[in-house]
Amino acid sequence: MIRLTFFACLLTIVVAGYPPLQLIYQWKNVCYYNVTDNEVVKDLPNTCTSVNDAISGIKLWKGYIYLTIPRWKSGVLVTLARIPSTPSQEKDGSDVVSPNLEAYPDWEMQTVGDCDKLQSVQSMEIDPQGRMWVLDTGRIETMAKYPKIKCAPRLVILDLENGGMVLRRFKFSNDVARHNSSNLNDIVLDHEDGGYAYISDSGPEPAIIVYSLKDNKAWKFTHNSMKAETEAVNFKVSDTNVNQSINIRGIALSPLESNGNRILYYSSVSSFHLYYIPVKVLQNGSITNVHKYVREVGRRTSQTSGMVMSNTGVLYYGLLADDAITMWDTLTTPTFVSGQRTMYRNHSLLQWPDTFAFDEDGQLWWVTNRFQNFLNDKVDKTQINYRILSSNVTQKNYQYFRNGTAPELSVITAAAGQIRIAISTAFAILLVFLAC
């Protein structure tokens, strides 16, 4: 990676004291491995021609980078994929910096219209036991003139340690996530008190959705702070104008060791402000006066898409109009306005930092995708559009204790309804066997 690291640093303003920026992968447009002997994919068109495959989400687990490609527009073949976290090498010893993506768990799981499969995934999270919590909006072509409703929005939990086996599917009711308009955008995991997932819904009725693993139930909270703010709707990224009201997107959970007072940070893309709400409030689905608990943290100099919290309390996020990566140490500099620090600024490599993640070794990773061009139908296949970059910050994500150890996690078994289906299926098979 020496060549790419040098190139990234050459063009990047790096504030003294931060590790070098590393450019790991980059693509002009996304290509996939096509398994031609698989009945599901043998008749598919060329898997390397679409400009609608925008890489958005990123997470890492045991040598692999997992990526999401939301079905925002037509022709997206794969919505969840993976690549090795270490580039392979060509025969001449050079790195393969634009690898094909592998459909995950397989091509069949990408089937549009089958509600047991993945329809459109923008975000996911991986817990310390290798279980991937996947958000499936259920609708495709949501940025086209006529979005298509294929399935209800769902949370799907996959076991990465067992080939991506489905551990649980949870369908959100219409009153929690509107089936014709919700946009499940980002997710963080809280392993205390039986386990919770906090999810941002950036649809026209923006909300924070709470899922209880223990009870297998979900509810939501709404507040004006989750909506786009007029002053931040219009901005530019690399001379391309963005003029869209984008509601709550990025969320981040404060570290485990918060003496039972963990908080959820959140922000709309179309906003300069960062807010938070205590998770104890979110876990109480009967609270109606949520406005009493929402607090504004402070104001940024630019809009932000994704964000992530480390196990040491450092919040990392991008500044879209500044092509920059910024951090705030929430534990040592509690004042947000004075505590923000720009780590990297690069007007080529850092156009629209979208999603962040940590690996097990303390490396921070993120995706940049020039989303401003995607919004304006200006994606140019002759230019680099999607990049994966990293920085060795020597921290883990918020799911781990400060010393790097993981908390005790809940066992995930099939939900009650799925258990009944499994029992019924087994009973039916038994009856057929006895009849024979």
The whole-angstrom separation of Cα 295 and Cα 300 is 15
pLDDT digit string (tens) for the chain, length 436 residues: 444 544 444 455 555 579 999 999 999 999 988 665 555 455 555 567 678 999 999 999 999 999 999 999 999 999 999 999 999 888 777 888 999 999 999 999 999 999 999 999 999 999 999 999 999 999 999 999 899 999 999 999 999 999 999 999 999 999 999 999 999 999 999 999 999 999 999 999 999 999 999 999 999 999 999 999 999 999 999 999 999 999 999 999 999 886 778 999 999 999 999 999 999 999 999 999 999 999 999 999 999 999 999 999 999 999 999 999 999 999 998 899 999 999 999 999 999 999 999 999 999 999 999 999 999 999 999 999 999 999 999 999 999 999 999 999 999 986 544 444 343 334 443 343 444 4
pTM score, two decimals? 0.91
Give residue 332's identity as a one-letter amino acid code: T
Range of the domain at 23: 2-435
Question: Longest C-alpha distance within the chain, in Å?
Answer: 76
Question: For residues 200 and 211, is the Cβ–Cβ distance under 8 A?
Answer: no
> In angstroms, rounded to a whole number, what is the distance separating the alpha carbons of residues 310 and 327?
10
Contact status, residue 76 vs residue 53, Cβ threshold 8 Å: yes
Contact yes or no for 115/78 (Cβ under 8 A):
no
- The CATH number of the domain holding residue 225 is 2.120.10.30
Q: Report how far residue 53's alpha carbon sits from residue 77's, in angstroms, rounded to the nearest whole number.
A: 8
Overall domain count for the chain: 1
Residues 418/424/425/430 CA torsion (nearest 10 deg)? 150
